[in-house]
Amino acid sequence: MIHLQEVKATLPPEVELVAVSKFHPAPLLQEAYDQGQRIFGESRVQELQAKQAALPKDIQWHFIGHLQPNKVKYIAPYISLIHAVDSEKLLLEIEKQAAKANRVIPCLLELHIAQEATKYGFTPEACTALLEAGTWRQLRHVQIAGLMCMASNVDDAVQVEEEFHRALAYFNEVKARFFADDPAFCQRSWGMSHDYPLALRQGATLVRIGTAIFGEREY
């Protein structure tokens, strides 16, 4: 029993839902597929490979977790969006593997906005430095399509919304400065099961929701 329709009913029509299916078995994904869901988010390469092989071919697979550069080659032939690019090294490896696969792979740069020290991602300063350096302009097989972030995992809604607000303000700054002529730079991936209503108020275009759809994961 999944809660896809209940979650969808809470989203404005222009916001895309990434059904985060990591750790859930393929039949549960098939159930969501049968109810019309086409975008699924996974965070482990091996698990994604198995599900991609087993499930319908018109699914758009999003990689939402930390991605090791040496694993890009496995998913490059089919991945629709890589949400969490957190180093230039990873961006360059995606370029290389996408070229081999003769594709352009849309990517989001992961912002480190949360207070927790353990999370991956670029600080706004580091992200600006990467964009100023300009190597990315030469890449023909990656398309920087926006930004992704995770808020702090705290109960304080004011703090969480403030973090999403900072991400939105930074997105607008980057858009104006580096991507004003590029309509493809348009995605803001923020919000998970417990905080997506706040993310929606701060301009999310993609929400990554697992537990609220599929229930608790069994690790």
Ligand X SMILES: *Cc1c(COP(=O)(O)O)cnc(C)c1O
Minimum CB–partner distance for residue 194 and ligand X (Å): 6
Minimum CB–partner distance for residue 43 and ligand X (Å): 5
Decide whether 114 or 212 has the Cβ nearer to ligand X.
212
Minimum CB–partner distance for residue 49 and ligand X (Å): 17
Decide whether 65 or 69 has the Cβ nearer to ligand X.
65
Decide whether 139 or 160 has the Cβ nearer to ligand X.
160
Angle (CA) 80 43 118, round 5°: 125
Contacts to ligand X by CB under 6 A: 20, 22, 43, 64-65, 150, 192-194, 208-212
What is the secondary structure of the chain as a DSSP string?
---HHHHHTTS-TTSEEEEE-TTS-HHHHHHHHHTT--EEEE--HHHHHHHHHHS-TT-EEEE-S---GGGHHHHTTT-SEEEEE--HHHHHHHHHHHHHTT--EEEEEEE--SS-TT--SB-HHHHHHHHHH-GGGG-SSEEEEEEEE---S-S-HHHHHHHHHHHHHHHHHHHHHH-TT-TT--EEE---TTTHHHHHHTT-SEEEE-HHHH-----
Minimum CB–partner distance for residue 208 and ligand X (Å): 4
Decide whether 152 or 193 has the Cβ nearer to ligand X.
193
Decide whether 62 or 185 has the Cβ nearer to ligand X.
62
Minimum CB–partner distance for residue 100 and ligand X (Å): 26
